[in-house]
Structure 1
Amino acid sequence: MLMIGSHISSAKGYEAMGKQALKLGANTFAFFTRNPRGGSAKALDPEDVKRFLAIAKEHQFGTLVAHAPYTLNPCAAKPEVLEFTERAMREDLIRMEETPGNYYNFHPGSHVGQGVETGIRLIAGLLNRILTPEQHTTVLLETMAGKGSEVGGRFEELAAIRELVTRKEKLGVCLDTCHVWDGGYDIVHDLDGVLAEFDRVIGLEHLKAIHLNDSQNPMGSRKDRHAKIGEGTIGLPALSAVTNHPLLRTLPFVLETPNDEEGYAREIRILRERYRDE
């Protein structure tokens, strides 16, 4: 069964997110743990969480893929940004324990001129401070497009972060199709080759989720501009091949396309129609 959904606003709580996912035809979804531009997190309502868990169980939801705010930068040069990032991620991971067993995805960040090696060291250091043996949430490093001073535009950079993290069992990877395409990985003509490279460098056993997005730009542009499914340079056949690939088809897929609710429902329907149940 295809596990697919989109980003859903968390403003009204978990139960509302679950109902919205069902309305879209989704059986998983992503949400920001707080305002995507940062700020304080809204207090959780235990009864709201309980009602959502009942919905998720009844409708056999797949693993959720929560997303950290864009303003977090685990390898920033400014101490106040690093302090805010660590505090927010600690808080988010505590809150994620209310819905145990899901994923918490974050952008590795930008080294802002400090150099990739310094960025990798800072990111791993933060993860070593916040990951605990007791947590039931797997933290995901997201593959990036490599624009500017972003860390994570190459598989080797994510592997280097993992190598420095002590609790590797709590750390996985989320592959974003737009990002890897813009970063120079040819998932249109050589998906098997890209996955073989991922396996060699990181290990496919660590790939936990897919952000399924088309791209506005040609391969290798390093620009990170998402497009609607089938309306970009990756195209529907290639993205459908991703959802149907034997090494990927059981993962949760999350749409981050520039869409409204009707558009997300349409994309989910189209991708389900092209999915080959086995």
Structure 2
Amino acid sequence: MMLNIGCHLSASKGYKAMGKNALKIGANTFQFFTRNPRGGKAKKIDPEDIKALLEMAKENEFAALLAHAPYTVNPCSAEESVREFALETMKDDLERMEYLPNNLYNFHPGSHVKQGVEIGIKYITDTLNSIIKPDQTTTVLLETMAGKGTEIGRSFQELKQILDGVELSEKMGVCLDTCHVYDAGYDIVNNLDGVLEEFHKIIGLDKLRAIHLNDSKNPFESHKDRHEKIGQGSLGKEAIIRVTNHPKLCNLPFFLETPNELSGYAEEIKMLREAYEY
């Protein structure tokens, strides 16, 4: 069994270029922003560019690709205009993702900005119920968050509440970020099995569809969100390797979001492949 691993790549030169860069660094998948991470309009779809990527992905047995919504998307904002921007952006993203069928779309649940978690979750589920369609092939993922400020998604219980409120729940899943969950207070360094048991009890491991593989610049339960290179943070290399080798996780796609250039990603991918036991 192959380790399905990639990193975050720039989409500025198109889909085919991302595929080529993935192969160059030894990856068999990748993550990309659907548009500028700070928002704005997405580039016009180039069907030939996408066709070239799809052919490349098939030839090289790529795992599922992961599209990431812009950071400016906040579907639970206190401001109606911000919520409307989130809805329109995510709706457009999901329509565009159908050019890349059967892949994944990840977003940060957002910050409720002192409205309270319950109101925030209601806004998020309203947005998802407005944009998710029965015939879409894309699975929408909630990202686990570190819990800074009024972020929603700092606990498995909050993610479960969102999932329970989505009518087409079969179109939904979770992306677990190793940095975020550790910063949120889930000790995946010393008790990975226990954390996964808790996730399964509350959400169900069948909903875990992808992992953001990041070390953390901050200590356990710091509720910050600053990624570090693998082995140079508070999680450490061995804890990250235990994640990729865990029998309940090892077949998932892993996406590096560490502070690296392509050469650094290539080194991390090589190291993690060499440590992979399957």
Moved over 4 A (4+): none
CA distance, structure 1, for counterparts of residue 162 and residue 89 of structure 2: 20
CA distance, structure 1, for counterparts of residue 52 and residue 264 of structure 2: 27
Q: TM-score normalised to the size of structure 2? A: 0.99
CA distance, structure 2, for counterparts of residue 73 and residue 16 of structure 1: 29
How far the C-alpha of 1:23 sits from its partner, in A, is: 0.6
Q: Where does residue 219 of structure 1 map in the other structure?
A: 220
Which letter does structure 1 place at the counterpart of 2:61? Answer: Q
Q: Where does residue 110 of structure 2 map in the other structure?
A: 109
Residues 1:58 and 2:50 aligned together: no
Residues 1:276 and 2:274 aligned together: no
Q: Where does residue 233 of structure 1 map in the other structure?
A: 234
CA offsets, 1:125-159, max 9 Å, x none?
A: 10011011000000000000000000000000000
CA distance, structure 2, for counterparts of residue 10 and residue 260 of structure 1: 14
- Percent identical: 63
How far the C-alpha of 1:34 sits from its partner, in A, is: 0.2
Q: Equivalent residue of 2:150, what SS?
A: coil
Which letter does structure 1 place at the counterpart of 2:35? Answer: R
Q: Where does residue 173 of structure 2 map in the other structure?
A: 172
Q: Where does residue 267 of structure 2 map in the other structure?
A: 266
Q: Where does residue 36 of structure 1 map in the other structure?
A: 37
Q: Equivalent residue of 2:121, what SS?
A: helix
CA distance, structure 2, for counterparts of residue 102 and residue 164 of structure 1: 22
Over aligned residue pairs, what C-alpha RMSD do you find?
0.5
CA distance, structure 2, for counterparts of residue 253 and residue 154 of structure 1: 21
Residues 1:67 and 2:64 aligned together: no
Residues 1:242 and 2:254 aligned together: no
CA distance, structure 1, for counterparts of residue 24 and residue 71 of structure 2: 27
CA offsets, 1:230-260, max 9 Å, x none?
A: 0000001000000000000000000000111
Q: Equivalent residue of 1:91, what SS?
A: helix
CA distance, structure 2, for counterparts of residue 97 and residue 90 of structure 1: 11
CA distance, structure 1, for counterparts of residue 205 and residue 53 of structure 2: 31
Q: Where does residue 92 of structure 2 map in the other structure?
A: 91
CA distance, structure 2, for counterparts of residue 100 and residue 116 of structure 1: 33
Structure 1: 5+ residue stretches without partners: none
Q: Where does residue 251 of structure 1 map in the other structure?
A: 252
Q: Equivalent residue of 1:140, what SS?
A: strand
Q: Equivalent residue of 2:212, what SS?
A: strand
CA distance, structure 2, for counterparts of residue 65 and residue 245 of structure 1: 21
Structure 2: 5+ residue stretches without partners: none
CA distance, structure 2, for counterparts of residue 32 and residue 211 of structure 1: 14
CA distance, structure 2, for counterparts of residue 223 and residue 47 of structure 1: 41
Q: Equivalent residue of 1:144, what SS?
A: coil
Which letter does structure 2 place at the counterpart of 1:35? Answer: N
Which letter does structure 2 place at the counterpart of 1:175? Answer: L
Q: Where does residue 3 of structure 2 map in the other structure?
A: 2
How far the C-alpha of 1:79 sits from its partner, in A, is: 1.0
Q: Where does residue 14 of structure 1 map in the other structure?
A: 15
CA distance, structure 1, for counterparts of residue 48 and residue 263 of structure 2: 29
How far the C-alpha of 1:165 sits from its partner, in A, is: 0.8
Q: Where does residue 48 of structure 1 map in the other structure?
A: 49
Equivalenced residue count is 277
CA offsets, 1:49-108, max 9 Å, x none?
A: 111111000000000011000000010111111111100001000000001000000000
Which letter does structure 1 place at the counterpart of 2:243? Answer: V
CA distance, structure 2, for counterparts of residue 16 and residue 68 of structure 1: 20
Q: Where does residue 153 of structure 1 map in the other structure?
A: 154
